[in-house]
Amino acid sequence: MTMKIQLLVPPGGYVAGRWAKGASMPPLGLLSLAAALEKNGIRIEVVASDVLHYSWSDIGQRIRCFGPDIVGVTTTTENRFDSFRLARIAKKINPAIVTVLGGPHITMTGRETLEHVNAVDILVLGEGEQTLVELVHALESGQDLSGVNGICFRKPDGTIVSNKPGKAIESLDDLPMPARHLVPFEQYNFSVTTRNVSRKAANMITARGCPFACYFCSTPVTWGRKVRALSPDRVMTEIRFLVDRYGVEFIWFYDDTFNHDTARLCAIMDRIIESGLEIKFACELRIDILDRPVVEKMKQAGLELAFFGVEAGAERVRRQIAGKPFSIEKARDFVRWSVELNFIPAPFFIFSHHTETWDEARQTLAVMKEMAAINPLADISAAILHIYPGTPLEAIARREGLLPKDFSWSRRQDMTRVPVLPAAQGHVPLFKDRLSWWQIATLAAEWSLLCGKKIDRAKIKQAILPTGGIKTVAIGGLFGLAFLYQRIRQWIGP
């Protein structure tokens, strides 16, 4: 008898603040797993609870109706507690259901989840396409799970077993395209608006891994430092499919570093140009390995929105702490190119880096203002530094006591012991080192005024801070007071 697999997205999706207005993107990781299962003749259903606007009750009913043997959930650090809840619902409906969690958070936390969440049976660590197929076949045939590499599981007696790591998939071209047909694609309402023009969009991932080592980033843990990529021809095949099947006009390349290989990047751009497809695209770039001729080719192919990390205005913080060893002049040049070549630059900045001082944080604001002056269309974004499991930053936070010694990523009650902004970015701890809360609030207020944004007071009021520290109302008040102070300065001058 063939097993039935149900893969689910929790009601809140993956808790990314940029999609708060109702738009979202199809879950490519989950759909890639579904495609691999389909290819192997395994009966599969994908439930996109977020875009279907399912309640928890709706999800329970969907599980009852499908009657799965296995329920799987892709888990991020932002949505982990919803993933745990979904597993509990599945077990309550039918204790015989095998609950499987995977995704970046699970890969980074490993067996800790099994130690604290009894409703979860198995974890898939790292890439899941091959591992999940092997796991399903093992469960179908009643084989010992100790032979399935890349998983961590709980035996019937409660013993937790961690198997050998699974092998990385060297040829991504061998994988089928994500099974977008298994979700209500049109309901994602995914469009990208630039210069008052809205275009129907789709997301793509063309490579896994990143050769760089930013101290706050989990990619080297999740995918590895060695980059494995789709061939330019395979990338073009998927682009054509999205245009022909779904009428897509804009591609959001979701690679961590789209220009990790300049020759491959240029080959992809050449194929887009030769195709005659009038598409636009967004991507994330590493500007210290980018030159102007390549950017010109990208613009010719349809570059519209270019994300890149600056992280800090201060040279010391950017080079020695954040892992971005380039001069700020490189960033200025890139923004100047955006004016001359007519694309939108989208630099990222972070406040409250490790050891960052108030003066250094003010340098970040100065650089942001400078870039806004060079190109008024620049889409400048900033965030308070977040701590993700498995990163060098997490090790720093634990060493310096910013995360309690007994802190667990799998216990919801532990989130009352660390600062978070759950409405904006899920339950991910904030990294607060040398800056005070008032200084952080002031930086946020000045950035808000710079970008013409409004501070979302509802989100600020939902901030949770450590017990015994500044209370929720206090931090909300700080943000409000800082914003009011900056507004008054704007009205009456310095």
End position of a domain, from candidates 121, 143, 162: 162
End position of a domain, from candidates 327, 342, 368: 368
243 and 361 within one domain? yes
Q: Which domain holds residue 110?
A: 4-162
Question: How far is it, in rounded angstroms, from Cα 32 to Cα 249?
Answer: 22
Which one-letter amino acid corresponds to residue 412? Answer: R
The answer to the question of residue 200 being in a domain is yes
The answer to the question of residue 271 being in a domain is yes
pLDDT value for 449: 80
Judged against a pLDDT cut of 50, whether residue 468 lies above it is answered with no
Which one-letter amino acid corresponds to residue 365? Answer: L
How much of the chain exceeds pLDDT 90, in percent? 77
345 and 415 within one domain? no
338 and 229 within one domain? yes
Q: Is 348 helix (H, G, I), strand (E, B) or coil?
A: strand
Tell me how far apart the 2 most distant CA atoms of the chain are, in Å. Answer: 75
pLDDT value for 487: 44
146 and 243 within one domain? no
For the stretch 289-337, pLDDT in tens is 999 999 999 999 999 999 999 999 999 999 999 989 999 999 999 999 9
The answer to the question of residue 177 being in a domain is no
Strands (E), 184-279: 191-194, 197-204, 207-208, 228-229, 250-253
For the stretch 64-108, pLDDT in tens is 999 999 999 989 999 999 999 999 999 999 999 999 999 999 999
Q: Which parts of 166-250 fold into alpha helices (H)?
A: 219-222, 232-246
pLDDT value for 220: 79
Question: Which pair of structure tokens corresponds to residue 82?
Answer: 């919803």
Find residue 345's DSSP bridge partners: 306
Sequence-ordered list of residues with C-beta below 8 angstroms from that of 391, at least 6 positions apart, any chain = 108, 215, 216, 217, 218, 221
State the residue for tokens 């900033």: 382
Question: How far is it, in rounded angstroms, from Cα 105 to Cα 79?
Answer: 9
406 and 336 within one domain? no
Torsion, CA 399, CA 403, CA 407, CA 409, rounded to 10: -110
210 and 267 within one domain? yes
The answer to the question of residue 181 being in a domain is no
End position of a domain, from candidates 368, 396, 411: 368
Judged against a pLDDT cut of 70, whether residue 478 lies above it is answered with no
What is the pLDDT averaged over residues 395-422? 92
Total domains, the chain = 3
The answer to the question of residue 379 being in a domain is no
DSSP 91-120: HHH-TTSEEEEESHHHHHHTTHHHHH-TT-
SS (H, E, C) 417-470: HCCECHHHHCCCCECCCCCCHHHHHHHHHHHHHHHCCCCCHHHHHCCECCCCCC
Q: Domain holding 321: CATH number?
A: 3.20.20.70
* Length in residues, the chain: 494
The answer to the question of residue 194 being in a domain is yes
351 and 223 within one domain? yes
| pLDDT range class, residue 177, cuts 50, 70, 90 | very high
196 and 157 within one domain? no
The answer to the question of residue 381 being in a domain is no
331 and 198 within one domain? yes
Tell me whether strands 160-162 and 191-194 are parallel, antiparallel or unpaired.
Answer: unpaired
Q: Domain holding 64: CATH number?
A: 3.40.50.280
Question: How far is it, in rounded angstroms, from Cα 63 to Cα 46?
Answer: 11
391 and 483 within one domain? yes
pTM assigned to the model: 0.90
Judged against a pLDDT cut of 50, whether residue 245 lies above it is answered with yes
For the stretch 109-127, pLDDT in tens is 989 999 999 999 999 999 9
9 and 77 within one domain? yes
pLDDT value for 13: 81
What is the pLDDT averaged over residues 226-251? 97
The answer to the question of residue 227 being in a domain is yes
83 and 208 within one domain? no
Q: Dihedrals φ, ψ of 369, to 5°?
A: -65, -40
